[in-house]
Amino acid sequence: MEIRTFEFDSATYLDSLEIRDEVLRKPLGMSIYNDNLDMDRTDFHIGAFQNGKLVGSLILHPLPDGEIKMRQVAVRSQLQSLGIGKAMIAFAESFASEKSFSKMVLNARKVVLGFYEKHGYEAVGEEFLEVGIPHFKMKKQLAPNPEN
């Protein structure tokens, strides 16, 4: 498996929209193609590839004060629970530290809190609704990049 960044407006970006639609929107009776995708243009896109084919993706959105938000974390349905999500998170954290971000934040669906907890994320604050389902804010302090 290869994990790497890819560009907005690439063929891979279109593949990522399809995965996001299948995994994050269709099960809720929604469509990614109705989302406002403006932020995608300037955010960082990270993908997991098997035999050159995109199998999972996530997005990093820079925030003020050294924070960066992980969003739209999705692994192709038939390929979940095989370590792809874990590998994408590890890549995203290294990528963010290299860019001198010190804290990763995210809005986790309640059903996957355990996935993020396993990777050192801590829930903060009260449960809230996003896309109609329960979420928690989570955060993780990133290890400083020794080269910075």
Find residue 118's DSSP bridge partners: none
Stretch in the footprint of ligand COA (CB under 6 A) among 7-15, 31-39, 69-77, 95-103: 69-77
- CB contact at 8 A, 143 and 97: yes
- CA-to-CA distance for 137 and 124, rounded, in angstroms? 5
Distances (CA, A) of 146 to 97, 98, 99, 100: 9, 9, 12, 10
Query: 124 in the Ramachandran plot: left (φ > 0), alpha (ψ -120 to 50) or beta?
Result: beta
Nearer to ligand COA, 84 or 142 (CB): 84
Q: Is 81 in the site for ligand COA (CB under 6 A)?
A: yes
Q: Is 118 in the site for ligand COA (CB under 6 A)?
A: yes
Q: Is 46 in the site for ligand COA (CB under 6 A)?
A: no
DSSP structural state of residue 50: E
Alpha-helix residue ranges (DSSP H) falling in 64-134: 84-98, 113-118
Q: Is 24 in the site for ligand COA (CB under 6 A)?
A: yes
Stretch in the footprint of ligand COA (CB under 6 A) among 3-11, 35-43, 73-81, 93-101: 73-81
CB of 146 vs ligand COA, minimal distance in Å: 25
The first and second tokens of residue 103, run together, are 């804290």
Nearer to ligand COA, 103 or 119 (CB): 119
DSSP structural state of residue 147: T
Q: Is 137 in the site for ligand COA (CB under 6 A)?
A: no
Measured at CB, which residue is nearest to ligand COA? 85
Q: Is 32 in the site for ligand COA (CB under 6 A)?
A: no
* Contacting positions for ligand COA (CB under 6 A): 23-24, 73-75, 80-86, 108-109, 111-112, 114-115, 118
